Chain A
Amino acid sequence: MTAPSYATTRPSRTIDGLLLAGLIAVAAAVTRAIWFTPVEARQGLAQKIFYVHVPSAFIALYVAFALLAISSALYLWLRDPRLDRMAESAAEVGLVYMSVVLLTGPIWGKTVWGTWWTWDARLTLTLFLWFIVLGLLLLRQSIDERSMRARYSAVLGLLAAILVPFIHISVYLFRTLHPRPIVLKPSAPSLPGTMLTTLLLSLAAFLLLFIGLMRTRYRYATDRDELLAVEGSE
Chain B
Amino acid sequence: MSADLVTGRETWSSETPVPGERGLAPPSFIRATLLIARKDLIVELRTRTALLAALALSLLSIVIFNFAWDPTAVAAIDLAPGLLWVIFTFSGLLGLHRAFGVEQADRAMDALLGAPIPRTSIYAGKALGNLGLVLLVQLVSIPAALVVYNLEVARVILPLGAIALLAGIGLVAVGTLFGAMTTSTRASELLLPVLALPFFVPVVTAAAQATARLMGGRPVDETIGWLKLLAAYDLVFVAACAFLYTVIADE
A binds B: yes
Judging by beta carbons under 8 Å apart, are B202 and A169 in contact?
yes
Q: Which residues of B contact A163 (CB under 8 A)?
A: 198-199, 202
Judging by beta carbons under 8 Å apart, are B237 and A134 in contact?
no
Contact with B along A129-156 (1 / 0, CB 8 A): 0011011001100111000100110111
Judging by beta carbons under 8 Å apart, are A139 and B206 in contact?
no
B179 to chain A minimum Cβ distance, whole angstroms, is 13
Binds B, one of A19-27, A170-178, A191-199: A170-178
A41 to chain B minimum Cβ distance, whole angstroms, is 38
State A128–B194 Cα separation when bound (angstroms).
11
Judging by beta carbons under 8 Å apart, are A139 and B202 in contact?
no
Also in contact, A142 and B244, with CB within 8 A (given A174-B205, A177-B209): no
A135 interface neighbour in B198, B232, B241, Cβ under 8 Å: B198
Judging by beta carbons under 8 Å apart, are A139 and B185 in contact?
yes
A116 interface residue, CB < 8 Å from B?
Answer: no
Also in contact, A148 and B251, with CB within 8 A (given A170-B201, A170-B205): yes
Q: Which residues of A contact B187 (CB under 8 A)?
A: 142
Q: Which residues of A contact B236 (CB under 8 A)?
A: 162, 166
B248 interface neighbour in A131, A155, A166, Cβ under 8 Å: A155
A76 interface residue, CB < 8 Å from B?
Answer: yes
Q: Of B174, B188, B201, B229, which is in contact with the most chain A CB atoms at under 10 Å from its CB? A: B201
Judging by beta carbons under 8 Å apart, are B202 and A135 in contact?
no
State A154–B237 Cα separation when bound (angstroms).
16
State A155–B178 Cα separation when bound (angstroms).
10
Judging by beta carbons under 8 Å apart, are B191 and A152 in contact?
no
Contact with A along B189-217 (1 / 0, CB 8 A): 00100110111011001100100000000
Judging by beta carbons under 8 Å apart, are A170 and B229 in contact?
yes
B226 interface residue, CB < 8 Å from A?
Answer: yes
Nearest CB in chain A to that of B193: its residue: A135
Can you list 10 residue pairs at the A/B interface with Cβ under 8 Å? A128-B198, A139-B195, A142-B191, A163-B198, A163-B199, A167-B202, A170-B205, A173-B205, A173-B206, A177-B209
Q: Of A131, A151, A163, which is in contact with the most chain B CB atoms at under 10 Å from its CB? A: A163
Which residues of B, 220-251, contact A by the 8 Å Cβ criterion? Answer: 222, 225-226, 229, 232-233, 236-237, 240-241, 244, 247-248, 251
A196 to chain B minimum Cβ distance, whole angstroms, is 35
Q: Which residues of A contact B195 (CB under 8 A)?
A: 132, 135, 138-139, 156
Beyond A132-B195, A138-B191, A163-B198: 14 further Cβ-contacts under 8 Å?
Answer: A131-B194, A135-B194, A139-B182, A139-B185, A139-B191, A151-B247, A155-B181, A155-B244, A156-B181, A159-B174, A159-B237, A166-B232, A167-B202, A170-B206
A158 interface residue, CB < 8 Å from B?
Answer: yes
State A152–B187 Cα separation when bound (angstroms).
15
Judging by beta carbons under 8 Å apart, are B237 and A173 in contact?
no
B229 to chain A minimum Cβ distance, whole angstroms, is 6
**Interface size of B as a range:** 20 to 34
State A73–B177 Cα separation when bound (angstroms).
17
Nearest CB in chain B to that of A176: its residue: B225
Judging by beta carbons under 8 Å apart, are B185 and A143 in contact?
yes
Please provide the 5 A-B residue pairs with the shortest distance between their CB atoms, ordered closest to farther. Answer: A166-B202, A142-B185, A142-B186, A170-B202, A170-B205
**Interface size of A as a range:** 20 to 34
Q: Which residues of A contact B226 (CB under 8 A)?
A: 173
Judging by beta carbons under 8 Å apart, are B248 and A152 in contact?
yes
Q: Which residues of A contact B197 (CB under 8 A)?
A: 131
B251 to chain A minimum Cβ distance, whole angstroms, is 7
State A135–B199 Cα separation when bound (angstroms).
11
State A152–B205 Cα separation when bound (angstroms).
27
Judging by beta carbons under 8 Å apart, are B194 and A162 in contact?
no
Nearest CB in chain A to that of B232: its residue: A166
Also in contact, A174 and B237, with CB within 8 A (given A139-B181, A139-B185, A142-B186): no
Q: Which residues of A contact B198 (CB under 8 A)?
A: 128, 131-132, 135, 163
B244 to chain A minimum Cβ distance, whole angstroms, is 5
State A217–B153 Cα separation when bound (angstroms).
56
B231 to chain A minimum Cβ distance, whole angstroms, is 12
Judging by beta carbons under 8 Å apart, are B194 and A169 in contact?
no
A152 to chain B minimum Cβ distance, whole angstroms, is 5
B201 interface neighbour in A134, A135, A167, A173, Cβ under 8 Å: A167
